[in-house]
Amino acid sequence: MDHVTKRFGNHTVLDDISLTVHRGEVIVVIGPSGCGKSTLLRCINALEKIQGGEIKLGNEKIEYGSKRLPSLRQKIGMVFQNYELFPHLTVLGNIQLAPVKVQKRNLAEVQAEAIGWLDRVGLEGRENSYPRELSGGQKQRVAIVRALCMHPEILLFDEVTAALDPEMVREVLDVMLALAAQGRTMLIVTHEMRFARAAADRILFLDGGKIMEDSDPETFFTHPQTERARRFLSTFQFDNIKKL
Amino acid sequence: MPDLGISVLFKGKNLPRLLGGLWAALRISLISVVISFPLGILLGALMTLKNPFVKAAMRIYLEFIRIMPQMVLLFLFYFGTTRAFGWDLTGETASVIVFVLWGTAEMSDLVRGCLISFPAHQYETSEALGLGKAQLYRYIIIPQAVRRLIPLSVNLVTRMIKTTSLILMIGVVEILKVAQQIIEANRTASPNAAFGVYLAVFFLYFIACWPISMLAQYLERKWG
């Protein structure tokens, strides 16, 4: 990403952001609500139009509305906050749709791969269930498998646990930790600080549409460089709360 | 036990005549459905476009047809056009025209409502998966739209069948008109025929509409 700027009307959401993600790197993006984290991810696969700068995957430019976009997006797996499965398709139907119809891969091969992944994320035997029969955490794991079966070069996770009950958060984070350990390239937006610390190679702290900090998790969580980051992190501490 | 006038039904060809009347009503409904549903789907899809001119034109058409009592439309097309334009429409043709106008308006509104009810995330998710526009409609939007529309449109069919009871006012001999003729013809021999004959009409409408609404319920449960 090079000098990317995104505005909604007069409001600048991303302000001259430059960022390089290396292969195999796990980057966790954190920051207060409205700081532009989600917009950052949405710009990367051109769900949002950018007003300045450019975004490249490898050597190819990602451009809103371009003809090449559908094929580029196949290399970018994205998982959204609200486990957005298609309600009229089964688990397997959801997973195999894009690999078979878009990438024209062999159905049996895709299904075997899908079932293999479902087993690994703890959803064995659920391939013929409909999304409405699954819990939020299960749906989110299916959404992750759906993204994986596209064989993406990079995975984007947009607050994937924000809409889940606490017990379900863990099962989804475990899957993501396992993927991180496999050396996949991932860009994760989250509010789960402990997970961020455990999974990330790099932490980006965003505020007001700018990257305020870009450091390794140890440094960020123990010695944040900016006052803004210190204040943000302190909101997750409950040790010094005064009794009323 | 009072005389319910049911025996009249079995005199002469009275029952087959009633069935013939039912068929006349169903035929007009069927022709109207076959014409108005594809038109409604087309117009409904047009209404989701952002073109303000198309939108305004559709809106006016829709409101006009829905606010107007069907009876007024029937009179307008049957009596009005004869004098004004010298058209010699049969009652049946005028009925089909009115029912097509009405059915198209209702259907297009159902289709429009259905298409705009898809949450934005379904479009985004399929974009993010690399699906093109055509694939998005073919695999995601249309299959779901059809499922949601079938129960609603089946409902519209039964409403159309029921509304055919108005077309006797423009001289179409449908089931209700046949019933009136039978009652008139037997006024002296069976003065109580009205009860039996209208009861038969009641059951015949029921037999025609009930399976259709059962089908709608079944599909709703299956795909809901």
ipTM score here?
0.76
In terms of Cα–Cα distance, which of B119, B110, B208 is closest to B151? Answer: B110
User: Is B129's CB within 8 Å of A73's CB?
Assistant: yes
Rounded Cα gap, residues A78 and A10, in angstroms = 28
Residue corresponding to tokens 């129960």? B151
Residue corresponding to tokens 């009323």? A244
User: Is B121's CB within 8 Å of A80's CB?
Assistant: yes
Judged against a pLDDT cut of 60, whether residue A1 lies above it is answered with: no
Question: Which fold, A2-234?
Answer: Rossmann fold (3.40.50)
User: Is B129's CB within 8 Å of A146's CB?
Assistant: yes
Q: CB within 8 A of A90, min separation 6: which ones?
A: A127, A128, A129, A130
Longest alpha-carbon distance in chain B: 77
Distance of CA B88 to the CA centre of its chain: 24
pLDDT interval class at B1 (50, 70, 90): low
User: Beta strand A202-207 with A52-54: parallel, antiparallel or unpaired?
Assistant: unpaired
Judged against a pLDDT cut of 70, whether residue B216 lies above it is answered with: yes
User: Is A86's CB within 8 Å of B122's CB?
Assistant: yes
User: Is B129's CB within 8 Å of A87's CB?
Assistant: no
Each as own residue / partner, the long-range contacts of residues B17-21 (CB below 8 Å, 24 or more positions apart, any chain) are B17/B178, B17/B181, B17/B182, B18/B175, B18/B178, B18/B179, B18/B182, B18/B197, B18/B200, B18/B201, B18/B204, B19/B204, B20/B178, B21/B173, B21/B174, B21/B175, B21/B176, B21/B177, B21/B178, B21/B179
Share of chain A above pLDDT 70, in %: 91
Q: According to the model, what pLDDT value does residue B35 have?
A: 94
A133 CB neighbours in chain B (<8 A) are none
User: Is B130's CB within 8 Å of A88's CB?
Assistant: no
Write the pLDDT tens digit of every residue in B124-155.
888 888 888 888 888 888 888 888 888 888 88
User: Is A76's CB within 8 Å of B128's CB?
Assistant: yes
Write the pLDDT tens digit of every residue in A78-133.
888 877 888 888 998 999 888 888 888 888 888 888 888 888 888 888 888 898 88
Distance of CA B212 to the CA centre of its chain: 12
CA end-to-end span of chain A: 47
Residue B125 has its nearest CB partner, among A76, A80, A103, at: A80
Chain B residues within 8 angstroms (CB to CB) of chain A: 121-122, 124-132, 135, 139-140, 143-144, 147
The CA-based dihedral angle spanning residues B50, B56, B59, B65, taken in that order and rounded to the nearest 10 degrees? -140
Q: By the CB < 8 Å criterion, does A101 face chain B?
A: yes
Q: What are phi and psi of A48, to 5 degrees?
A: -120, 145
Rounded Cα gap, residues A27 and A189, in angstroms = 9
Judged against a pLDDT cut of 90, whether residue B168 lies above it is answered with: no
Q: By the CB < 8 Å criterion, does A80 face chain B?
A: yes
Residue B128 has its nearest CB partner, among A45, A82, A103, at: A45
Q: What are phi and psi of A5, to 5 degrees?
A: -125, 135
Judged against a pLDDT cut of 90, whether residue B99 lies above it is answered with: yes
> Do residues A42 and A162 touch, judged by C-beta distance below 8 A?
no
The chain A residue lying nearest B142, using CA atoms, is A88
Cα distance from B50 to chain A (closest Cα, Å)?
18
Q: By the CB < 8 Å criterion, does A47 face chain B?
A: yes
The chain B residue lying nearest A144, using CA atoms, is B129
Q: In sequence order, what E strands does chain A have? A: 2-8, 11-17, 26-30, 52-54, 56-57, 60-61, 76-79, 154-158, 186-189, 202-207, 210-215
- What is the residue-averaged pLDDT of chain A? 81
> Do residues B8 and B182 touch, judged by C-beta distance below 8 A?
yes
Q: By the CB < 8 Å criterion, does A81 face chain B?
A: no
Rounded Cα gap, residues B59 and A74, in angstroms = 40
Rounded Cα gap, residues B134 and A33, in angstroms = 35
Q: By the CB < 8 Å criterion, does A45 face chain B?
A: yes
Instruction: Tell me the range of A155-169, B90-104, B117-131, B171-185 where mean pLDDT is highest.
Output: B90-104
Buried b / exposed e over B165-196, threshold 16 CB at 10 Å, is ebbbebebbbbbbbbbbbbeebeeebebbbeb
In terms of Cα–Cα distance, which of B20, B34, B52, B16 is closest to B156? Answer: B34
In terms of Cα–Cα distance, which of B90, B95, B113, B118 is closest to B36? Answer: B95
- What is the residue-averaged pLDDT of chain B? 87
Instruction: Tell me the range of A210-219, A235-244, B59-68 where mean pLDDT is highest.
Output: B59-68
Rounded Cα gap, residues B155 and B214, in angstroms = 10
In terms of Cα–Cα distance, which of B26, B38, B63 is closest to B174? Answer: B26
> Do residues B127 and B137 touch, judged by C-beta distance below 8 A?
no
Judged against a pLDDT cut of 80, whether residue A234 lies above it is answered with: no
Residue corresponding to tokens 């049996």? A108
pLDDT interval class at A242 (50, 70, 90): low
Residue A102 has its nearest CB partner, among B130, B143, B144, at: B130
Write the pLDDT tens digit of every residue in A175-222.
888 888 888 888 889 888 888 888 888 888 888 777 888 888 778 778
Interface of A with B in 164-223 (CB under 8 A): none
Q: According to the model, what pLDDT value does residue B34 have?
A: 94
The chain B residue lying nearest A156, using CA atoms, is B128
B121 CB neighbours in chain A (<8 A) are 80, 82, 84
Q: By the CB < 8 Å criterion, does A162 face chain B?
A: no
Domains and CATH numbers, chain B: 6-223 (1.10.3720.10)
pLDDT interval class at B203 (50, 70, 90): very high
Average pLDDT over residues B9-36: 89
Rounded Cα gap, residues B8 and A70, in angstroms = 71
Judged against a pLDDT cut of 70, whether residue A240 lies above it is answered with: no
B120 CB neighbours in chain A (<8 A) are none
B144 CB neighbours in chain A (<8 A) are 86-88
Cα distance from B121 to chain A (closest Cα, Å)?
7
User: Is A80's CB within 8 Å of B124's CB?
Assistant: yes
How many Cβ atoms sit within 10 Å of the Cβ of residue A75?
17
**Which is higher by pLDDT, A173 or A8?**
A173
Domain residue extents for chain A: 2-234
How many interchain CB pairs under 8 A, A with B? Answer: 53
The chain A residue lying nearest B143, using CA atoms, is A88
C-alpha dist (Å) from residue B186 to A45, A158, A221: 78, 77, 96
What are the start-end ranges of the H helices in chain B?
A: 14-47, 52-67, 70-75, 81-85, 91-116, 120-128, 133-135, 142-163, 175-185, 193-223
- Side-chain-side CA neighbours of B180 within 13 Å: the count stands at 10
Q: According to the model, what pLDDT value does residue B96 have?
A: 93
